[in-house]
Amino acid sequence: MCGIVGYTGKRQAQGVLYDCLCRLEYRGYDSCGIAVNTPEVQVFKDAGKVHDILQNAPLFKGTAGLGHTRWATCGEPTQINAHPHTDCTGKICLVHNGVINNYSQLLKRLEGNGHKIVSDTDTELIAHLIEEYDKGDLEEAVRLAVKEIEGSYALVVMRSGENTLVVVRQDSPLVIGVGDGEYLVASDVPAILGYTNRVIYLDEGDIGTISPDSLKIRRNGGYIVPLVEKVNWTQDESQKAGYSHYMLKEIHEQPRVIQNTLINMPLPESFNKSEILEQSRKTGILFLACGSSYHAALTARYLVEEHLNIPVRLEIASEFNYMHRLLPCKLAVVLTQSGETADVLRAMRRLKQAGCMVVAITNVAGSTAARLADHTIYTQAGPEIGVAATKSFIAQLIVLYALCFAGASAANIRYQDYLSTMRLLPSVVQSILGSHQNIKDAAVEVAKSKSAFFIGRGINYPIALEGALKLKEISYIHAEGYAAGELKHGPFALLSPETPVLALVSRDQTYEAMLTGLREIKVRRAPLIVIGEAGDEQLGQLADRVISLPSFNRLFNPILFTVVLQLLAYYVALELGCSIDTPRNLAKSVTVE
């Protein structure tokens, strides 16, 4: 996987492909390349970054082409493994996101038929398959070839001497941009926003045939009139706007994201009906997610069980898919920033087959998760370019808080007050963003370490997990998040003057236990950085450094802690000179298992 682009129209394709690939760099990748019909297929590719590789490409004159940024899954990041790939004749050329599970069987068959496979990738096999089936109708050749493929794929295919592109998807996203006498193809909308805001989201199994003046979409054996949708994001929203990194910009966008999410979040009526909630009191609500979204779901567990009195079952989607027995479930809530997380989509299909109502919380309209779900709630975060989730995570928390309080407000008037209090959050978050020199100073200290612990209790425990994830994602410092009481059960062995501990402390029912834990850490001489509430003098007596939150309703401390920890991770990575927006080995949208 990572980023796909394609173009056919009246412009010179090479410049369009380069521009679109630059807009996909945020997804994370290790090699890149382009192919242009001149009319012969000309390919230029290598391991490395778009700017470093493609600025050295020879000038290819042609108005149809493909481009790709690759995050290695099958075969190391090398020139020969980079996309695009061709068959041995050079007639068929394609780019691919996804993973081919029956690679070994296909390789054996193709080599037995005389095909010479030169790369280590599963993608190259697809080009050879299509070449075998190509009798003059490229769309039909692609259709027959993908019938042999087991796995996930988004493909853009072209044939030498033609300006037609054939596209197909299965368990990997693909979108078509509709222009004036031109079409673009991409794995993600931001890639094409500079050219059009009109898009067609392909469904599973769709095959599209595109030329500058025509578009055909084949679905379930017949041709359809596709729905053209308008994207409400602007190109400016996906730019840095003067910030040094996308991540910093997106952290600073969070007050607006909170406001937009609260204003534009219609609660799905049937989700909020008392009978659905009542049924869930017997079987519970299932939450499913991966990565940062899992930490948001874990936060929701504390909220739902305390304020709705409904038991919550929480599963990592990638593990849930390998559980043989599916326990009774009336309502499942899935969280996926991109709406294309492969493990989450697989779990959604399984749940729907079992008759479970599925609610998706996602940031991307038209995504696969949005189309699969019975109800979708959009987080209104706008395009998030930095690989590390920041504003999308905050938006997920806001949605989960609001859902919980809306569900409880029918029985208790105080939850209406909580919903009103949430509307004050943007200004409180802004105050953290406007005065964070103490966080920057703490980051200088943390940057000197090779390992760190993040601890919290109760509803702050998931935020400790998220803080640790942010630090290791972008600074490459080993970090672990723990429930504070668990340090005594083994991790204490790792405490030393070189191992800082970052503690999240609220003056709630966990407060005294947290103070006891801080004392235990302090006597083991580990540097102690505490994030706590303003005016707490006891923290100053225990900690080496205190970062104080603005005074606010402590029920919302997880949101405020999150902003502090995002800034901390950012400034640690900045101190170390790391690639903050595109950390090594990571991709923004995980579309393979």
Among all residues, which ones are annotated catalytic?
A: 2, 588
Helix (H) or strand (E) holding 254: helix 254-263
Judging by DSSP bridges, how do beta strands 501-504 and 451-456 pair with one another?
parallel
End-to-end CA distance of the chain: 11
- Alpha-carbon span 158 to 164, nearest angstrom: 6
Please count the CA atoms within 13 angstroms of the CA of 193 that sit on its side-chain side: 18
Q: Which amino acid is at 38?
A: T
* Order of strands, sheet of 478-483, starting from the edge strand that comes earlier in the sequence: 478-483, 451-456, 501-504, 528-533, 545-549
The contacts of residue 327 (CB under 8 Å, 6+ apart) are: 283, 313
Phi, psi of 214 (to 5 degrees): -155, 155
Please count the CA atoms within 13 angstroms of the CA of 106 that sit on its side-chain side: 23
Do 394 and 363 touch, CB atoms closer than 8 A? no
Phi, psi of 249 (to 5 degrees): -60, -45
How many other C-beta atoms are found inside a 10 Å radius of the C-beta of residue 118?
11
Find the length of the chain. 593
Question: Rounded to the nearest 10 degrees, what angle do helices 461-475 and 557-576 cross at?
Answer: 20
Alpha helices in 387-446 (DSSP H): 391-409, 414-422, 425-434, 437-446
- Alpha-carbon span 446 to 443, nearest angstrom: 5
Running DSSP on this structure, what letter comes out for residue 554? G
Sign of CA dihedral 551, 556, 561, 566: negative
